[in-house]
Amino acid sequence: MSSLPFEDFPHILDTRQFSATWLLSLFRATKAIEADPEAYCGILLDRIVALIFNQPSSRTYFSFELAARRLGATVIGGQHMAEFSSAAKGESLDDLARILLGYGADYLIVRWNTEGSVARVAKLAGANHPVINAGDGPGQHPTQSLVDLYTIWKEFGDLERPIVVAVIGDLKHGRTAHSLAYLLGKLFPNISFFFISPESARMKPEILEYLHRHGRHTLATTQPKLYDLADAFDVVYMTRPQLEYGDEQERARLTEEYQPFILTPDVVERMKPEAIILHPLPRTFELPVEVDGDPRARYFQQAANGLPLRMALLKELELARLGLLAKA
Ligand code: NCD
């Protein structure tokens, strides 16, 4: 298995599985697709891609669906599995996955509300059926981080130079923040972090430990001094309060604690002219629409990058899969 492009092949579960070489080849493939999107239109012909989502999604769902269709796949599945599949009658994700595999699904792209659930599906799917984690509750969202890093790579030209990334918001439940920290933390030693969050939404301790173990320069703070720090950032990565994970009291507390962490236009004003603002979206009050016109705002571009990046990912998986199948 060592010649394969990343650990856990063929599944995409956790950003710790990637190597820098594989990421850069994925990014080059994404650029090639952007330049000529028709070039790979038959690569998933005769393949069935199943999308299994029980949490809301816009960008991830639609870009994966479009990506798979553009590559020629048949797409099945849906966004509201909690209400409109037998999951509503108590069927487990594992059983649902078994049924779809039985119908001949080649790829399973899964968003489920419990951490670790997608990795379980990968185990039962086996090596010939790639499973992609499209968000496992407050766990990870690896393909969002691929989109995020692709956007940073395109903006800065390389990932070897010093880049200061401020990840701001609900770092306890925000799976995009977790995946991004794991991704950047291991592979790119010149990238350093500020983790800035309200008290009740601090970055998970195991992720901070992971970064320290890898010798990364990391500063985690709950002090809302965005204005004072803003000119130190090259990338501001805003995230929303993940209110769906708390009870009513926790939601009210988090909303109140979040107020000083809003990216107000005066904070943006103090940022370096060449810095960029990212957000995985959807946004709520933490990123006011007044910021949209600022030349540093890149979040809509970042969202648009999701389509070619996911096309490139499916293409790379299919090519690797064909190699694996040929060897079997
Ligand atoms: C994110 C998610 O679902 O984790 N959205 C996305 O996929 N772009 C971010 C979020 O919901 O806050």
In 3D space, the residue among 68, 29, 66, 64 whose CA is nearest the CA of residue 45 turns out to be 68
The ligand 1 atom nearest the CA atom of 280: 8
Q: How far apart are CA 64 and CA 253, in angstroms?
A: 35
Report the separation in Å between the CA atom of 199 and the middle of ligand 1, taken as the mean of its atom positions: 21
Q: Which one of 62, 143, 175 would you pick to mutate in the ligand 1 pocket, going by the greatest count of ligand atoms within 8 A of its CB? A: 175
Please determine, for residue 225, whether its predicted confidence score (pLDDT) is greater than 80: yes
- How does pLDDT run across 27-56, given as a tens digit for each residue? 999 999 999 989 999 999 999 999 999 998
Q: Distance, CA 153 to ligand 1 centroid (Å)? A: 20
User: What is the maximal distance between C-alpha atoms in the chain?
Assistant: 59
Task: Write out residues with Cβ below 6 Å of ligand 1.
Answer: 59-60, 135, 141, 144, 175-176, 239-240, 280-282
Cα–ligand 1 centroid distance for 60 (angstroms): 8
Give the span between the Cα atoms of 149 and 157, in whole angstroms: 11
Global confidence as pTM: 0.95
- Give the closest residue to 165 by CA, choosing from 112, 63, 238: 238
Residues 261-291 pLDDT 10s: 999 999 999 999 999 999 999 999 999 999 9
Best substitution site from 60, 115, 171 to test ligand 1's pocket, by max atoms within 8 Å of Cβ?
Answer: 60
What's the angle, vertex CA 161, arms to CA 159 and CA 166, rounded to 5?
75
Residue 328 has a pLDDT of 45
> Residue 278's closest CA among 236, 308, 306, 242?
236
Nearest Cα residue to atom 1 of ligand 1: 280
User: Which atom of ligand 1 has the smallest separation from the CA of 306?
Assistant: 8
- Nearest one of 126, 132, 158 to 14, comparing CA atoms: 132
Strands (E), the chain: 48-53, 74-78, 107-112, 131-136, 163-168, 191-196, 218-221, 235-238, 276-278
Q: What span, in angstroms and rounded, lies between the C-alpha atoms of 171 and 169? A: 6
- Which ligand 1 atom minimizes the distance to the CA of 141? 4
Q: In this predicted model, which residue has the larger pLDDT, 326 or 240? A: 240
Active site residues: 59-60, 89, 111, 141
Instruction: Name which of 324, 279, 316 is nearest 19 in CA terms.
Output: 316
Q: Is 174 helix (H, G, I), strand (E, B) or coil?
A: coil
Going by DSSP bridges, is the β-strand pair 276-278/235-238 parallel, antiparallel, or unpaired?
parallel
* Smallest CA separation from ligand 1 atom 7, residue: 60
- Segment 151-194, tens digit of pLDDT: 999 999 989 999 999 999 999 999 999 999 999 988 898 999 99
Pocket test for ligand 1, best of 51, 112, 141, 302 (most atoms within 8 A of CB): 141
Looking at residue 324, its pLDDT comes to 64
User: How many other CB atoms are there within 10 angstroms of residue 106's CB atom?
Assistant: 20
For the segment 70-127, what is each residue's pLDDT rounded down to a tens digit? Answer: 999 999 998 877 777 787 777 899 999 999 999 999 999 999 999 999 999 999 999 8
**Ligand 1 atom at minimum distance from 56 CA:** 3
Query: Which helix (H) or strand (E) is 11 found in, with range?
Result: none
Q: How wide is the angle at C-alpha 80 spanned by C-alphas 75 and 81, nearest 5°?
A: 80
All residues at 6 or more sequence positions from 23 whose CB lies less than 8 Å from its CB, including other chains: 146, 149, 187
Ligand 1: which of 63, 143, 239, 281 to mutate, judged by most atoms within 8 Å of the beta carbon?
A: 281
- Please tell me whether residue 167 adopts helix, strand or coil conformation: strand
Residue 7 has pLDDT above 90, yes or no: no
CB of 171 closer than 8 Å to CB of 198: no
Please say if the pLDDT value at position 6 is more than 80: no
Residue 322 C-alpha to ligand 1 middle, in angstroms? Answer: 31
Tell me the pLDDT tens digit for each residue of 67-84.
999 999 999 998 877 777
Lowest mean pLDDT among 5-9, 154-158, 249-253: 5-9
Distance CA 87, CA 92 (A): 6
Q: How far, in Å, from the CA of 282 to the mean position of ligand 1?
A: 6
CA 259–ligand 1 middle distance (angstroms) = 20
Residue 175 has which token pair?
């799976």
**How many whole angstroms from 54 Cα to the centroid of ligand 1?**
13
